[in-house]
A and B are shown apart, each in its own frame.
Chain A
């Protein structure tokens, strides 16, 4: 009895002394302040002409964007069929004489390239090499007719183990961030790599019940269309009843609007389908608005809580 009262008193004292110090993680306010301090260092946009039909060499500068099959390093052959909207951003950053400099944002990575160009018979032709030495580094051979707006590219891997080149059709895209970009331009988010087996039943014409085992994937509901976390401050009440996948996609929609190059193939495919999405950068912390930072913090809180506690005994 005494032991217990002693324990209760001690734990109460420990609780009260530790509690009132603020030991929480960095809050949205702290992040907003930090970002304002860093604002000066934000990357400058590349100078591009708004000209989408190529009338001169300078008009080539800018983002050239298109979709191709998934070529993810982790993807199995099955996944290649599932993901068809792998967007590539072939960015020509500067042209100095015959030299072309730029970078690609592709498969969740940004890679610099450089090479040569020439103008022959009304065609601009380029041959550029990506820098780096991993498996997915290669050479782009591009051509576009003068006054045309479509660039045809063949990508050839440097790695001889990959026996396949990729044909790409790219158009020049003037990407700017907008909080208005909507998820309704897309389909349903499905992560084919996250599934579990479920048993479904159906009744056939004879009234007989049958059971079969199917894969149930990590996927969103229509709830994601109700909110835009880049425009409105979400409330606890709105977020607390959302499913894990909905929270996950809403949070990532913020990054997508800023042109984040996702590492997860399912996210690249999901946003790649949307016309407004262009993979532009691999880091977006300094681009976020105050509303977005606050929403990310809130969504993250519930996402992690759901991950840890949704389907377990406890809390």
Chain B
């Protein structure tokens, strides 16, 4: 009984935080509507913004990534999975399409042109590849009905999805405390945005197996 209350509280906290940060992400997305090549992030990407494929990658990434975050609200719910499996599958398909066809590949292209030199370029390209790989594994295990595996891969995949939030959170925290030079901060969070997430995902998977 007590552990039920605890896990309900934990879920509520997770959903609350996710809502809050998803709202912040929506605000970030809306900066680029109407499409403008000289705002926000793009203001410091003027050396590559002339490239058509970069523009397509950038706006694909900006306008589709939001939908990947949605999965967090529904897909881990036991209730929804049992009661409305079609909803689970529908949102799951949306998630997979967004990552494998839109947000993932465009993230890879953007990673190649990342600010901050080879270190952050590698960080973002690796992130994009791992994101697509874990999502692909999650899809294929679901199709072959290996649902335990599916669950593990989705936890990994969504942990990487959340890097959109954790990266920006770390940046905010590091700048607030240490005030590093801007590009140093960027190089740090390029890695810190997702490696701890993956470790945390492994921890959850381990605990789930034990429990």
Interface size class of B (residues with CB under 8 A): 35 or more
Pair B56/A302 contact, Cβ less than 8 Å: no
Q: Given the known A-B contacts A15-B35, A23-B38, A308-B40, are A241 and B181 also in contact in the complex, defined by CB atoms under 8 Å?
A: yes
Question: Measured between C-beta atoms, what is the minimum distance from B192 to chain A in Å?
Answer: 15
Find chain A residues with CB under 8 A from B35 CB.
14-15, 18-19
Grouping DSSP codes into helix (H, G, I), strand (E, B) and loop, the A interface class, with mixed when no group exceeds half, is: helix
Find chain A residues with CB under 8 A from B27 CB.
314
Pair A313/B37 contact, Cβ less than 8 Å: no
Give the complex CA separation of A8 and B90 in angstroms.
16
Pair B44/A302 contact, Cβ less than 8 Å: yes
Pair B90/A1 contact, Cβ less than 8 Å: yes
Pair B168/A313 contact, Cβ less than 8 Å: yes
Find chain B residues with CB under 8 A from A240 CB.
44, 115-116, 182-183
Pair A8/B64 contact, Cβ less than 8 Å: yes
Mark A92-111 against chain B: 1 for CB-CB distance below 8 A, else 0. 00000000000000000000
Question: Measured between C-beta atoms, what is the minimum distance from A213 to chain B in Å?
Answer: 16
Question: Measured between C-beta atoms, what is the minimum distance from B24 to chain A in Å?
Answer: 6
Pair B44/A24 contact, Cβ less than 8 Å: no
- The reply to whether the CB of A315 lies closer than 8 angstroms to some CB of chain B is yes
Find chain A residues with CB under 8 A from B183 CB.
240-241
Mark B40-58 against chain A: 1 for CB-CB distance below 8 A, else 0. 1101101100001001100
Question: Measured between C-beta atoms, what is the minimum distance from B41 to chain A in Å?
Answer: 5
The number of chain A residues with a CB under 8 A from chain B is 33
Give the complex CA separation of A24 and B42 in angstroms.
11
Which of A15, A24, A242 has the largest count of B CB atoms less than 10 A from its CB?
A15
Pair A304/B181 contact, Cβ less than 8 Å: no
Grouping DSSP codes into helix (H, G, I), strand (E, B) and loop, the B interface class, with mixed when no group exceeds half, is: helix
- A304: nearest residue on chain B (CB-CB)? B43
Question: Measured between C-beta atoms, what is the minimum distance from B88 to chain A in Å?
Answer: 13
Mark A1-26 against chain B: 1 for CB-CB distance below 8 A, else 0. 10010001001101110111001110
- The reply to whether the CB of A312 lies closer than 8 angstroms to some CB of chain B is yes
Question: Measured between C-beta atoms, what is the minimum distance from A256 to chain B in Å?
Answer: 24
Pair A15/B56 contact, Cβ less than 8 Å: yes
Which chain A residues in 53-68 approach chain B with CB under 8 Å? none
Q: Given the known A-B contacts A240-B115, A313-B169, are A11 and B59 also in contact in the complex, defined by CB atoms under 8 Å?
A: yes
- The reply to whether the CB of B172 lies closer than 8 angstroms to some CB of chain A is yes
Among the listed A14, A16, A237, A241, which residue makes an inter-chain contact with B182, where contact means beta carbons less than 8 Å apart?
A241
- The reply to whether the CB of A180 lies closer than 8 angstroms to some CB of chain B is no
Pair B40/A18 contact, Cβ less than 8 Å: no
Pair A301/B182 contact, Cβ less than 8 Å: no
Q: Given the known A-B contacts A23-B37, A306-B182, A309-B40, are A301 and B64 also in contact in the complex, defined by CB atoms under 8 Å?
A: no
Which chain A residues in 272-314 approach chain B with CB under 8 Å? 301-302, 304-306, 308-314
Find chain B residues with CB under 8 A from A194 CB.
none
- The reply to whether the CB of B211 lies closer than 8 angstroms to some CB of chain A is no
- The reply to whether the CB of A243 lies closer than 8 angstroms to some CB of chain B is yes
Find chain B residues with CB under 8 A from A243 CB.
179, 181-182
Give the complex CA separation of A54 and B172 in angstroms.
61
Find chain A residues with CB under 8 A from B44 CB.
236, 240, 301-302, 305
Interface residues of A (CB under 8 A from B): 1, 4, 8, 11-12, 14-16, 18-20, 23-25, 236-237, 240-243, 301-302, 304-306, 308-315
Chain A to chain B contacts (Cβ below 8 Å), 20 pairs: A1-B90, A11-B63, A12-B63, A15-B35, A15-B55, A15-B56, A15-B63, A23-B38, A24-B38, A240-B116, A240-B182, A301-B43, A305-B40, A311-B172, A312-B172, A313-B24, A313-B168, A313-B172, A314-B168, A315-B168
